[in-house]
Structure 1
């Protein structure tokens, strides 16, 4: 039988995200509570300031650009303290936000802008050139490329988002309320697929409302967070990217809903992380396994007092027992694990705080409102303890893939289950384990890399006859690295020089997380099935044999 969550499930408000966050009657903290804080500039937003700034920006969208319900605003920026206000300003105006990776090239950004139908683009000055180039390619007017952050355009060509606010002050506009929160989209986040192009994951207002409540239920009570923090309260460190669903929901939304102060970092920097934990008395952090690895080994960590951290939650990729124990032995910081996907808004499971050391390796128990089951390849449910593909149903499950009815039909069943593509099992106590992936995606530090996308680029290289890309696990970095197996064109050498040239050629075409950090191996042929499907499992065996052979020579 499918497993239901054991958490109590409070009624989910039938409202859109704006109503959920800014029109609630049960907010447990005051208007002047500082929610977002930039530790580099000391700039901050209180609850009231982020609300008022969002309203003014939303009015500006309506007044300046005749913003319509369902229009898409794209975000191309690293973490910024202005991101929450812009996000909810877009939703106030009835729009849909589509965050993009600031590491994208103009080609990659243009694809998402075109696929999402974005009407405007928000960025920061260091990214303005690429943003303008991508916008131009898809027909977004240059005056709709706007700036957030502390820098302004010295040429005065790009408006700062505060200028969009100023335009609104002489006009009167009302917010656009969503009529059907369970159907109306709030976000279009993009998740890589095995077909090569990223897929637009359609997340409704209800999806994010439900998941915010689910996260609150999982974290509340464990650290006396019931009713919100008191005094200075709990502080969360935010270096996970806001453009990723993990940061978007767990950081931006949870902090405002629960009244937790979010310390916003534009990107991960180990020594700054340690310094801010010590100076600002951070109490909690959402992390990924490579961060846990650094905390367990890097000598710089020993320079700082991290004792204010009561717990870390690791997600985005599997976490090993060795890493959990290494961090706890060194720093006495517990690390629990969670699980989720872009399609589930994202969090579906997390380890209870009290059980972090009892079920290491587990992704925890099922969060409220959900039902889950493990299925065989024949789509028959398997009993407790047996391995199968994880299927999940709940109000946090996405609406479907944008412009991709076939992908949607393959991912969602007629009775509402999402086929996660991940395999594992559950134990008799309701703890879930993820052991492998049905999907062929490579996960580099939590970012998804589609092998087919890289293969599509590489096969176009004049010196490449055939190619297959797989992920190889690197223990030193605690993450998978993309590696290409290449059949060279006639006459091409198979040495380091040739490999380096191809790697550098590809790296100029793709985002940082898609680079061939696993290197290139030249082969005589790519193993394929009769139908032409690449047999990646054979390449993974070959990669393991290569690793074993290298070790034997030491």
Structure 2
């Protein structure tokens, strides 16, 4: 690492920036590094396995099917550059439809499978999606979304593909919908759509949605080159692996860029098979480690907490596990110590480390190497190669050595911009290419970073972004609420932040009536937002929301108030995390 006047640059030699599409890079350039018969993706429940050779072949079949077969079945005709949506929890179908769509030259927008119809409507419209791959269980939500948009049943049918390939249960909702099975085996693309040179650097490949501090979620335009650059720079600091022995457990949601890139793309670069879980369940998690001899897993802090306290940790042989890599939210030193002790008690000598990144950075920018995971516990690690970083004061001057500042990052993994939102893009990325993360960091003399605060007001619930402004907008739709403010409160018990709402009742209710009203509001909200946005931190009726003279909510005052309130609220009483040995 070398310190320059304005920039900290990883001194590792510069890596080549791929000028190929995601599909070409993964399935042509690096395909020959490992045997075609080697497993790539494994269904945790059934054991169904897709080899590396099959992954490429199935993707080319799907690419042909969606471009040529789907229109003949009455579906929307798609062309290079069109956008398709994936709306599904994790499944063995995901790599087939994701890479098949990319092979067909399509952009892919990834939708949170917990979204309500209203939330999905925003992403559908904003992304310009024309077709949705949908899990059978989520078809009713899609149909409700299309009804809100104004599609007739016939129009909705033209835009739906049931993503059920590889399922033991082949039943699909009635209505004659096209399935992924219908699109496979009918032919294959002789060659994928190519995006070379400047096209790879400028053409959007994926559209994940990131919640800003104001308004609705924004589409993050991630290019082909963003992805190929990211996996290559991560490869330099990621722990060494042996493709013949290593197995990764894939539990993070693929609709989140953390799961999509680090589970469907990066392990493929390494030749590491990924065991796909549909969702996190402690028993299935530990059983899968035993069954598939899993050596590593990408996690979020609440999974660490579950491993400390859930009895499944002691019921299965998990001794093959070598390391856990945490991201998406801060991981405390006390929780690292607790999970290492608990795993050691069952014979698993496991390193626990973490990294840092954002959707806008594709995602990883920092990584804590295993050899420093104990000495530097709590740190997000070192800046990755090919990236530059600055710590910046509020007046845009550089913070002094050892002092906190907003983390700015520049390099080949920074997003193209926010879709159809020039103002937001210009607010986030400076003219000379620095992306403003909104997180306040400190860098020590050895080049290790710690996140100490967040300039942005986002709430992080178990790794998911929860924008206060969005929840406030929903609350204000309630006929009896005239003002509202939402903040995040720390829950050590749950190892995450929880959204907490302060509301002003139109008639100024008090006492028991106010308490009953807050419970009604919580239930009312649960009908209108995804589960990770539920008001788990509580709802409080107040006389007025504290605001500045300019009308800005004074969230700092509310956070200070909340710290005092939770001292007397039993559900938030916490004790230090201890491993149950």
The answer (yes or no) to whether the contact 1:193–1:450 under 8 Å persists in 2 is yes
Q: Please give the secondary structure, in 2, of the residue aligned with 1:8.
A: coil
- 1:188 match: 207
Confirm or deny that 1:449 pairs with 2:460: no
- 1:362 match: 379
- 2:78 match: 67
- 1:261 match: 273
Confirm or deny that 1:33 pairs with 2:52: no
Q: Which of 242, 245, 249 is the aligned partner of 2:261?
A: 249
- 2:578 match: none
Taking the aligned partners of 1:29 and 1:210, their CA distance within structure 2 comes to 20
Q: How does 1:408-423 map to 2 (within 5 A)?
A: 408-423=425-440
Taking the aligned partners of 1:190 and 1:154, their CA distance within structure 2 comes to 28
Instruction: Please list the CA deviations of residues 275-294 of structure 1 after superposition, one character each: whole Å capped at 9, or x if unmatched.
Output: 11122211000010111111
Q: How does 1:165-180 map to 2 (within 5 A)?
A: 165-166=184-185, 168-169=186-187, 174-179=191-196, 180=199
- 2:160 match: 145
- 1:102 match: 113
The answer (yes or no) to whether the contact 2:252–2:258 under 8 Å persists in 1 is yes
Q: CA deviation at 1:172?
A: 6.7
Taking the aligned partners of 1:507 and 1:297, their CA distance within structure 2 comes to 28
The answer (yes or no) to whether the contact 1:196–1:451 under 8 Å persists in 2 is no
- 1:277 match: 289
The answer (yes or no) to whether the contact 2:136–2:173 under 8 Å persists in 1 is no
The answer (yes or no) to whether the contact 1:57–1:162 under 8 Å persists in 2 is no
Q: Which of 509, 512, 515 is the aligned partner of 1:496?
A: 515
Q: Please give the secondary structure, in 1, of the residue aligned with 2:225.
A: helix
Taking the aligned partners of 1:417 and 1:103, their CA distance within structure 2 comes to 33
Taking the aligned partners of 1:336 and 1:18, their CA distance within structure 2 comes to 30
Taking the aligned partners of 1:72 and 1:154, their CA distance within structure 2 comes to 24
Q: How does 1:121-520 map to 2 (within 5 A)?
A: 121-138=132-149, 139=151, 141-149=156-164, 150=167, 151-155=170-174, 157-166=176-185, 168-169=186-187, 174-179=191-196, 180-219=199-238, 222-223=239-240, 225=241, 229-230=243-244, 233-332=245-344, 333-490=350-507, 492-493=509-510, 494-520=513-539
Taking the aligned partners of 1:199 and 1:270, their CA distance within structure 2 comes to 33
Q: 1:124 to 1:54 in 2, by over 3 A?
A: same
Aligned residue pairs total: 544
- 1:544 match: 563
Instruction: Please list the CA deviations of residues 238-285 of structure 1 after superposition, one character each: whole Å capped at 9, or x if unmatched.
Output: 110000000011100012111111000000001110111122211000
Instruction: Please list the CA deviations of residues 38-84 of structure 1 after superposition, one character each: whole Å capped at 9, or x if unmatched.
Output: 12112111111111111111112221344212100100000011111
Q: Please give the secondary structure, in 1, of the residue aligned with 2:561.
A: helix
Instruction: Please list the CA deviations of residues 161-220 of structure 1 after superposition, one character each: whole Å capped at 9, or x if unmatched.
Output: 121234x43x8764321141000010000011111300000000000001111222221x
Deviates more, 1:97-106 or 1:66-75: 66-75
Taking the aligned partners of 1:250 and 1:90, their CA distance within structure 2 comes to 19
Q: Please give the secondary structure, in 2, of the residue aligned with 1:495.
A: helix
Q: Which of 7, 13, 20 is the aligned partner of 2:12?
A: 7
- 2:576 match: none
Q: Please give the secondary structure, in 2, of the residue aligned with 1:335.
A: strand
Deviates more, 1:537-546 or 1:138-147: 138-147
The answer (yes or no) to whether the contact 2:24–2:192 under 8 Å persists in 1 is no
Q: How does 1:86-97 map to 2 (within 5 A)?
A: 86-97=97-108
Deviates more, 1:524-533 or 1:290-299: 290-299
Q: CA deviation at 1:153?
A: 1.7
The answer (yes or no) to whether the contact 1:153–1:159 under 8 Å persists in 2 is no
Taking the aligned partners of 1:428 and 1:491, their CA distance within structure 2 comes to 54
Taking the aligned partners of 2:334 and 2:215, their CA distance within structure 1 comes to 33
Taking the aligned partners of 2:403 and 2:517, their CA distance within structure 1 comes to 46
Q: Which of 101, 125, 128 is the aligned partner of 1:114?
A: 125
> Please, what TM-score do these two structures have when normalized by structure 2?
0.91
Taking the aligned partners of 1:76 and 1:110, their CA distance within structure 2 comes to 12
- 1:525 match: 544
Q: CA deviation at 1:136?
A: 4.2
The answer (yes or no) to whether the contact 1:91–1:97 under 8 Å persists in 2 is yes
Q: Please give the secondary structure, in 2, of the residue aligned with 1:7.
A: coil
Q: CA deviation at 1:14?
A: 1.3
Instruction: Give the aligned CA root-mean-square deviation in angstroms.
Output: 1.7
Q: 1:484 to 1:51 in 2, by over 3 A?
A: same
Taking the aligned partners of 2:413 and 2:330, their CA distance within structure 1 comes to 22
> Please, what TM-score do these two structures have when normalized by structure 1?
0.95
Q: Please give the secondary structure, in 2, of the residue aligned with 1:497.
A: helix
Taking the aligned partners of 1:469 and 1:157, their CA distance within structure 2 comes to 44
The answer (yes or no) to whether the contact 2:114–2:530 under 8 Å persists in 1 is yes
Q: CA deviation at 1:392?
A: 0.2
The answer (yes or no) to whether the contact 1:241–1:247 under 8 Å persists in 2 is yes
Q: Please give the secondary structure, in 2, of the residue aligned with 1:487.
A: strand
Taking the aligned partners of 2:323 and 2:565, their CA distance within structure 1 comes to 38
Q: Please give the secondary structure, in 1, of the residue aligned with 2:219.
A: strand
